[in-house]
Amino acid sequence: MTLQEYDYARESPSKLAASCLLLALTMKNLGGWTPTLEYYSGYRSQDLHALVKRLNFLLTYQPHDKLKAVRTKYSHRVFFEVAKIPPMDMLKLEEKLKSC
């Protein structure tokens, strides 16, 4: 979805990928940012918090009237219907990120 948003073009691809992973781990309650993830990604959890919040905001307030191809594709069971997972409440996300 970030490919469709110009604001994310200035982010480094590695930071964007790491932030997406942290958001996914948080949304699915699969643990936080481990020392192994920090070592191999080169990012501390705190470095990613602002971008994780922006990504969750993108999921929350996305325009439903245009650019539906990505959402439609990832709503299919082949992709585990990940586009149907509801975004996190911003306050809950903030709490979970503080504990990472």
Model pLDDT for residues 83-92, shown as the tens digit of each residue: 888 899 999 9
d(CA 32, CA 1): 23
d(CA 13, CA 17): 6
pTM: 0.85
Q: What is the pLDDT of residue 63?
A: 62
Instruction: Show the tokens assigned to 79.
Output: 């992709």
Q: Which of 24, 31, 89, 86 is nearest to 52 (CA)?
A: 24
- Provide the 3-class DSSP secondary structure of residue 5: coil
**Which structural domains are found in the chain, ordered by start?**
2-99 (1.10.472.10)
Q: Which residue is associated with the tokens 């409440």?
A: 89
Phi, psi for residue 40 in degrees, rounded to 5:
-75, -30
Percent of the chain topping pLDDT 70: 94
d(CA 67, CA 42): 33
* 62 pLDDT above the threshold of 80: no
Phi, psi for residue 28 in degrees, rounded to 5:
-95, 10
Amino acid present at 100: C
